[in-house]
């Protein structure tokens, strides 16, 4: 603009011009504030309530005497599973339904699927999931004592807490909360779910929460209490990992994430695996790598009767003194909530007087995060649209690794 033109505008016109610029300048800040307000609703206390409730399944404390098998155990397989597995399914269905979600039981393994429809792009789906079953032991139908506090009441409680927080808001895209069954049978529940997805399913991001409560190591107290975020190193997954890490850095800075563990040799050991093999972006958030957990170095009580809040896995009297870290687990949920609020498009409240903070802007491409590297596509651009995934060729050379023998199986 020339000096002469500026003089012709006059002071009032200049003020109008500047006022028009202000919304553009403050939009990222408004969105960041709105997302932070959502993240801050995650409650350590509520998370812990969910986690303890789930590890006690099989005692009939929730469902009544009909579900009391005399021991804590959620072993699941095709069909009903143990009484504890059935009680956990009832609990998940009730809790998710009470949040206003549409809940269904899917497939022969009876996965619990709850949906919060998007208002503008309902066909675009984000999933947060965890497995609610445990290992069973050698006795069926009821199995042996397997509370599964860390593996995986911890992740399932995270799904419930994420659902509790996120269903207080509306989003452009659909959010889906899933409790998978039979993960301990090598992801049979999630394999069945992915197998029967519609060919045009537009799943643009999956976060799998599996063992997020006990990050400290039993045999090396010098190891940091950090989170591993793991998947296959293909562009549609690396972009999704970068989105999560950036959201965690921005909105949950106290959560440490190991930057060197994103693409391990054994990456598919969890319910994210079937999604990646099908060409959908997915990763697992887990306290330690599969090798570290299976070795017993980082969790000496994995798959044992002691994996409970009132047992050695959470006892200061255990040889290592390692305990469950509820604030750490809540931080993982916060990072999950931040990622979903950001990418699914948090909308402002319908009532301008509702909510606890500034409304998010209308533009989902306003992304208040550090810039991601340019070596992959933007997060949220994946998913199938009636044809094979555009990055499916990256999977052609990938073979399914044989299942290792887990510690204490």
Residue 174 · residue 116 · CB < 8 Å: yes
Residues belonging to the chain: 409
Measured distance CA(330)–CA(221) in Å, rounded: 22
Pairing mode of beta strands 111-116, 173-180: antiparallel
Q: Treating both helix axes as pointing N-terminal to C-terminal, what angle do 326-343 and 44-55 enclose, rounded to 10 degrees?
A: 110
Measured distance CA(84)–CA(80) in Å, rounded: 10
pTM for the model stands at 0.84
Q: Tokens in use for 326?
A: 């509820």
Q: Per-10-residue mean pLDDT for the chain, 409 residues long?
A: 39 39 54 96 98 98 97 96 97 98 98 98 98 85 89 98 98 98 97 97 98 96 96 97 98 96 92 98 96 90 96 96 98 98 93 48 49 35 36 46 36
327 CB-near residues (< 8 Å, 6+ apart): 44
Residue 88 · residue 57 · CB < 8 Å: yes
From the centroid of its chain, how far is CA 359?
24
CATH architecture assigned to 33-395: 3-Layer(aba) Sandwich (3.40)
Which pLDDT tens digit goes with each residue over 325-347?
A: 999 999 999 999 999 999 999 99
From the centroid of its chain, how far is CA 88?
19
Write the burial class of residue 14 (CB in 10 Å: 0-12 exposed, 13-18 middle, 19+ buried).
exposed
Which pLDDT tens digit goes with each residue over 176-206?
A: 999 999 999 999 999 999 999 999 999 999 9
Got the DSSP string for 94-157? HHHHHTT-EEEEETTTTEEEEEE--SSEEEEEEEEEEE--B---S-TTT-S----IIIIIHHHH
pLDDT at 365: 52
Measured distance CA(97)–CA(232) in Å, rounded: 34
**In the Cβ-directed half-sphere of 57, how many Cα atoms lie within 13 Å?**
32
Pick the closest to residue 248 from 341, 160, 355, 173 (CA basis).
Answer: 341
Which pLDDT tens digit goes with each residue over 217-237?
A: 999 999 999 999 999 999 999
Measured distance CA(234)–CA(217) in Å, rounded: 30
Torsion angle of C-alpha atoms 182, 183, 189, 195, degrees rounded to 10: -150
Measured distance CA(88)–CA(30) in Å, rounded: 39
Q: What is the DSSP letter of 181?
A: -
329 CB-near residues (< 8 Å, 6+ apart): 47, 51, 154, 157, 158, 212, 213
Q: What is the DSSP letter of 400?
A: P
């Amino acid at each position: 603009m020339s000096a002469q033109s500026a003089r012709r505008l006059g002071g009032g016109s200049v003020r109008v011009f500047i006022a028009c610029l202000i919304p553009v300048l403050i939009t990222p800040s408004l969105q960041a504030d709105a997302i932070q307000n959502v993240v801050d609703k995650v409650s350590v206390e509520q998370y812990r309530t969910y986690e303890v409730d789930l590890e006690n399944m099989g005692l009939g404390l929730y469902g009544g005497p009909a579900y009391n098998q005399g021991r804590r155990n959620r072993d699941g397989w095709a069909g009903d599973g143990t009484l504890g597995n059935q009680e956990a399914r009832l609990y998940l269905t009730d809790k998710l339904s009470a949040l206003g979600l549409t809940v269904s039981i899917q497939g022969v393994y009876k996965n619990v699927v709850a949906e919060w429809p998007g208002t503008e792009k309902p066909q675009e789906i984000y999933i947060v999931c965890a497995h609610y079953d445990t290992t069973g032991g050698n006795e069926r139908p009821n199995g042996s004592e397997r509370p599964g506090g860390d593996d995986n009441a911890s992740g399932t409680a995270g799904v419930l807490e994420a659902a509790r927080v996120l269903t207080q808001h509306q989003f452009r895209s659909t959010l889906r909360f899933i409790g998978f069954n039979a993960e301990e049978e090598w992801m049979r529940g999630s394999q069945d779910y992915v197998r029967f997805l519609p060919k045009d399913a537009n799943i643009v991001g999956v976060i799998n929460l599996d063992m997020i409560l006990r990050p400290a190591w039993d045999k090396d107290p010098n190891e940091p209490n950090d989170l591993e975020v793991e998947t296959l190193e293909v562009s549609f997954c690396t972009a999704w990992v970068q989105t999560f890490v950036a959201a965690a850095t921005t909105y949950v800075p106290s959560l440490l994430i190991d930057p060197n563990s994103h693409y391990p040799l054994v990456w598919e050991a969890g319910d994210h695996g079937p999604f990646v093999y099908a060409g959908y972006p997915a990763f697992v958030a887990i306290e330690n790598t599969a090798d570290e957990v299976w070795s017993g170095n980082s969790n000496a009580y994995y798959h044992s009767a002691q994996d409970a809040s009132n047992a050695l896995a959470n006892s200061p009297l255990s040889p290592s003194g390692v305990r469950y870290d509820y604030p750490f687990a809540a931080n993982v949920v916060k990072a999950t909530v931040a990622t979903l609020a950001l990418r699914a498009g948090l909308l402002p409240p319908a009532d301008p007087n509702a909510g606890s903070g500034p409304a998010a802007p209308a533009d989902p491409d306003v992304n208040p995060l550090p810039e991601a590297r340019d070596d992959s596509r933007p997060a949220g651009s994946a998913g199938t649209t009636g044809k094979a995934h555009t990055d499916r060729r990256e999977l052609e050379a990938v073979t399914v690794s044989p299942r290792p023998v887990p510690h204490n199986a």
